[in-house]
């Protein structure tokens, strides 16, 4: 027994040592073994397409090809040249062109509405000696819609109440001429001519329409510069003139930017007759019926009537539009014959 005990203990120690060594060896091997490949969904898609050519890109056919907007040649606003050789200026302009080129629904709707209102607006600008390019300012301000901003600016030209009153618009509980686009255009002309007289530049006049004349004058003095393109301004105003310019570029060259219209696509002005009213109207709905229309259409063509009645003081009067044709001009599917898509509009807003 003593002899057995003498050789059993060393054997046991040896076996235990071998077991420990084997365990350590396996551990080292596992640590050096490559980890299983783990892929995120995105990594897997690109790796498979690039390395294994699993057919993803081979079977993918894009429905459209998207190209950057390329600016070439000289660009002017109100006959004042835009310094596109300045990289920062060019990039700001490029941003707005991209936004309005690829924001398809908004730009298309604005273009359609321009057909409805630009003739009147352009005529008023011309009579007042304001460059025609300023019609695009109204597009940039409101999209030619009677919208109201969070600050309370209203109408096509986005007049604040105080500024509207200053420039001769009537604003009260029954009448708000900020929504009369013809009268608001007259008021905008007066503002812009005042700004041009102050700054000596139509471009600065346009910028002041966004930020205000006094604030713009202060920035010019602080920064000791004389033109819009050298000014450091808040984000909205620094983009403002370029937003106007982008609409000008797209509207004057719609096909170049991928927009194709036929004449029937565009909205047309409502036909109406004008009546001069000198006595108060207690019920505009009844007034509309008496004049052969309805309350809805009376409001559509006279959005400046903001109440259901109209009080007229002695010696005063208002000209109200009475719609005469808005049903016969409506869209009917049969108006669009096969092949119309090839008869592209050949008149753009470059007048």
Reduce the DSSP state of residue 159 to 3 states and report it.
strand
Question: Is the full-model pTM beyond 0.85?
Answer: no
pLDDT of 326 higher than 90? no
Average pLDDT over residues 79-97: 94
345 or 280, which is more confident:
280
The answer, yes or no, to whether residue 180 has pLDDT greater than 60, is yes
Q: In terms of pLDDT, which residue wins out, 320 or 259? A: 320
The answer on pLDDT for 40 being more than 70 is: no
Q: Quick: pLDDT tens for 47-79.
A: 444 554 455 455 656 666 777 777 778 999 999
- The CATH architecture annotation of domain 77-264 reads Orthogonal Bundle (1.10)
What pLDDT was estimated at residue 279?
A: 97
Confidence of residue 114 (pLDDT cuts 50, 70, 90): very high
Distances in Å between the Cα of 49 and the Cα atoms of 42, 56, 62, 125 are: 11, 6, 16, 58
Does 42 have pLDDT greater than 70? Answer: no
For 102-121, the DSSP string reads H-HHHHHHHHHHHHHHHHHH
pLDDT, tens digit (0-9, with 9 covering 90-100), for 207-255: 999 999 999 999 999 999 999 999 999 999 999 999 999 999 999 988 8
pLDDT at 24 over 90: no
Give the residue, 214 or 325, on which the prediction is more confident.
214
The residue with tokens 């209203």 is 154
Q: What is the mean pLDDT of residues 280-287?
A: 98
The predicted-structure confidence for 91-108, as pLDDT tens digits, reads as follows 999 999 989 888 889 999
- 76-77 and 80-81: which strand pairing? antiparallel
Between CA 72 and CA 231 the distance in angstroms is 24
d(CA 243, CA 255) in angstroms, rounded, equals 19
Each residue's pLDDT tens digit, 117-158: 999 999 999 999 999 999 999 999 999 999 999 999 999 999
**Chain-wide mean pLDDT for the chain?**
84
pLDDT at 33 over 60: no
Q: Give me the pLDDT at residue 68, please.
A: 74
Predicted local distance difference test score (pLDDT) of residue 73: 85
pLDDT at 325 > cutoff 80: no
Q: Is it the case that residue 179 has pLDDT exceeding 80?
A: yes
Q: How confident is the model at residue 46 (pLDDT cuts 50, 70, 90)?
A: very low
pLDDT for 201: 98
Return the ∠ at Cα 15 (arms to 9 and 20), rounded to 5°. Answer: 125
Report how far residue 179's alpha carbon sits from residue 145's, in angstroms, rounded to the nearest whole number: 9
Q: What is the arithmetic mean of pLDDT over 162-166?
A: 98
Q: Which residues of 198-234 are buried (b: 16+ CB within 10 A; e: fewer)?
A: ebebbbbbbbbbbbebeebeebbeeeeeeebbebebe
């Amino acid at each position: 027994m003593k002899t057995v005990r003498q050789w059993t203990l060393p054997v046991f120690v040896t076996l235990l040592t071998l077991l420990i060594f084997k365990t350590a060896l396996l551990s080292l091997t596992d640590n050096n073994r490559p980890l299983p490949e783990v892929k995120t969904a995105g990594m897997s898609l690109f790796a498979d397409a690039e390395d294994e050519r699993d057919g993803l890109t081979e079977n993918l056919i894009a429905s459209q090809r998207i190209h950057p907007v390329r600016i070439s040649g000289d660009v002017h606003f109100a006959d004042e040249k835009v310094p596109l050789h300045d990289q920062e200026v060019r990039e700001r302009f490029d941003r707005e062109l991209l936004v309005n080129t690829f924001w398809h629904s908004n730009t298309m709707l604005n273009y359609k509405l321009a057909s409805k209102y630009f003739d009147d607006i352009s005529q008023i600008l011309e009579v007042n000696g304001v460059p025609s390019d300023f019609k695009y300012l109204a597009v940039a301000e409101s999209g030619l819609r009677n919208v109201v901003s969070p600050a309370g600016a209203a109408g096509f030209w986005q007049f604040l109440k105080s500024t509207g009153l200053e420039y001769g618009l009537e604003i009260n509980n029954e009448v708000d001429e900020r929504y009369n686009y013809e009268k608001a255009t007259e008021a905008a002309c007066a503002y812009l001519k005042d700004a041009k007289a102050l700054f000596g530049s139509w471009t600065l006049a346009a910028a002041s329409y966004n930020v205000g004349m006094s604030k713009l004058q202060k920035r010019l003095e602080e920064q000791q510069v004389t033109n819009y393109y050298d000014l450091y301004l808040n984000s909205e105003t620094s983009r403002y003139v370029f937003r106007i310019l982008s609409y000008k570029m797209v509207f004057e060259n719609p096909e170049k930017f991928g927009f194709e219209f036929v004449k029937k696509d565009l909205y047309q002005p409502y036909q109406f007759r004008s009546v001069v009213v000198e006595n108060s109207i207690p019920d505009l709905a009844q007034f509309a019926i008496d004049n052969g229309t309805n309350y809805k259409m009376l409001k559509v063509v006279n959005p400046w009537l903001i109440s259901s009645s109209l009080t007229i003081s002695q010696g005063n009067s208002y000209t109200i539009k009475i719609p005469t044709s808005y049903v016969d001009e409506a869209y009917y599917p049969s108006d669009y014959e096969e092949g119309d898509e090839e008869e592209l509009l050949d008149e753009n807003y470059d007048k």
